[in-house]
Amino acid sequence: MTTGTRWLDSEQQVAWRAYLLGTARLMAKLDDDLRQFGLGINDYEILVRLSEAPDRRLRMADLADRLHQSRSRLTHTVGRLEAADLVRRTSCKSDKRGVWAELTDAGFSLLEQAAPSHVEGVRENLVDLATPEDFAAVGRVFDAVSEHIGQR
Amino acid sequence: MTTGTRWLDSEQQVAWRAYLLGTARLMAKLDDDLRQFGLGINDYEILVRLSEAPDRRLRMADLADRLHQSRSRLTHTVGRLEAADLVRRTSCKSDKRGVWAELTDAGFSLLEQAAPSHVEGVRENLVDLATPEDFAAVGRVFDAVSEHIGQR
DNA sequence: CTCTAACGGTTTAAATCTGAACTACATTCC
DNA sequence: GGAATGTAGTTCAGATTTAAACCGTTAGAG
């Protein structure tokens, strides 16, 4: 009795492919639009998370988790952002192993410049293309995905 | 009269972040699960597209467009797949500039091995987590995104 | 207290990806 | 026909990402 694979049905297949292609195109577009500010979407997200945090700073590991990135990748990226004077590193007093990544004024300022255009891009290329219900569904689905997969 | 930025409202914000994090986690998970077959999700998708094409082959540019990849990236990836004997390149007779990327028997065979586990992963970490309606919404949304952004 | 395991972060080297430059062929327009 | 322009694909150099090894520091067990 062969417990065969539960393949995707035709509609699921189509939706899955649409998601793959749509995501690829969307990310490429957003990346592209951010290039005028010298940022990629990954850099941008880092700056945003920092800007929202208390004292505009986060511990490296915390930041890595929020973005689901390896600590190694984050070290490299923050290194570049630091070289561009957008982020500053300071060591953590209470845990000497720790490092704070802190948004500089220049970083905050660049973020203020880039944000309107970026958000407009997210609207134009995603949010405004969907009905509110459909977009809410996207949120629910990927929230469930995150929840299911959990931390790395 | 300041035509201010149309920021995302709180729910849109949450949905957008859920999508970003969920996608990051999902892709990492699928990549991870494919590693046992020596493939990444990008390699896998290439093999799948080839396997579905007439004569199991596609022109490089065609394949690149379907995956929204640069020709350069595809050249590299196919080069590696060719080295692993999963894909074969042949030159196109009708257009001497062209190159066919063709799935080898080994490539097809590996795909047959990997597919059940991969599809199960897509189900477990995405499809089965959503109601059919919600998942259909995801399909609609990203189809609209693809349509809107168009070819590169 | 002290030993050991775990954590936080960086470094290193290799793998992969990007973008521009380049080669060859094809097409278009006099 | 032949020059200009466009297309397909590759190559090159540089940037980014990955995975593993590594170094302090911290925490937990005995």
The DSSP annotation for A118-152 comes to: HHHHHHHHTGGGS-HHHHHHHHHHHHHHHHHH---
Mean pLDDT of chain B: 96
Are A16 and B139 an interchain contact pair (Cβ–Cβ within 8 Å)?
yes
Residue nearest to nucleotide D27 (CA to C1'): A95
In this prediction, residue B129 carries a pLDDT of 98
The pLDDT of residue A61: 97
Distance B107 CA to D9 C1' (A): 22
For the segment B92-98, the average pLDDT, to the nearest whole number, is: 96
Confidence (pLDDT) at A1: 66
Residue B21: how many CB atoms within 10 A of its CB? 20
Mean per-residue pLDDT for B38-66? 98
Q: In this structure, what token pair is assigned to residue B94?
A: 């009708």
pLDDT above 70 (res B88): yes
Residue B23 has pLDDT above 80, yes or no: yes
Give the model's pLDDT for residue A152. 60
Of A15, A116, A135, the CB nearest to B135: A15
Among residues A108, A58, A56, the alpha carbon closest in space to that of A85 is found at A108
pLDDT of residue A70: 97
- Long-range pairs for A126-135 at CB < 8 Å and ≥24 separation? A126/A26, A126/B16, A126/B141, A126/B145, A127/B8, A127/B12, A127/B16, A129/B141, A129/B144, A129/B145, A129/B148, A130/B137, A130/B140, A130/B141, A130/B144, A133/B137, A134/B137, A134/B140, A134/B141, A135/B12, A135/B15, A135/B141
Q: What are phi and psi of B58, to 5 degrees?
A: -140, 155
CA distance A103 to A87: 5
Strands annotated E in A17-80: 57-59
Minimal C-alpha gap between A93 and chain B (Å): 30
Mutate to test the interface with A, among B118, B126, B133, B147 (most CBs of A within 10 A): B126
- pLDDT tens track for B100-145: 999 999 999 999 999 999 999 999 999 999 999 999 999 999 999 9
**b/e B55-83 (16+ beta carbons within 10 angstroms → b):** ebbbbbeebbbbbbbeeeebeebbeebbe
Low-confidence ranges of chain A (pLDDT < 70): 1-2, 152
CB < 7 A contacts with chain D (nucleic strand):
A 40, 42, 69-70, 72-73, 76-77, 80, 95-97; B 35, 59-62, 64, 71-72, 74-76, 78-79, 89, 92, 95, 97-100
Which tokens hold the place of B18? Answer: 């859920």
User: What pLDDT does residue A92 have?
Assistant: 96
Residue B63: partners with Cβ closer than 8 Å, 6 or more residues away: B46, B49, B50, B74, B101
Instruction: Provide the pLDDT confidence category of residue B150 given band limits of 50, 70 and 90.
Output: confident
Interface of B with A in 19-48 (CB under 8 A): 19-26, 28-29, 45
Assign B2 a pLDDT band (cuts: 50, 70, 90). low
At position B115, the amino acid (one-letter code) is A
Nearest to B9 by CA among A98, A127, A18: A127
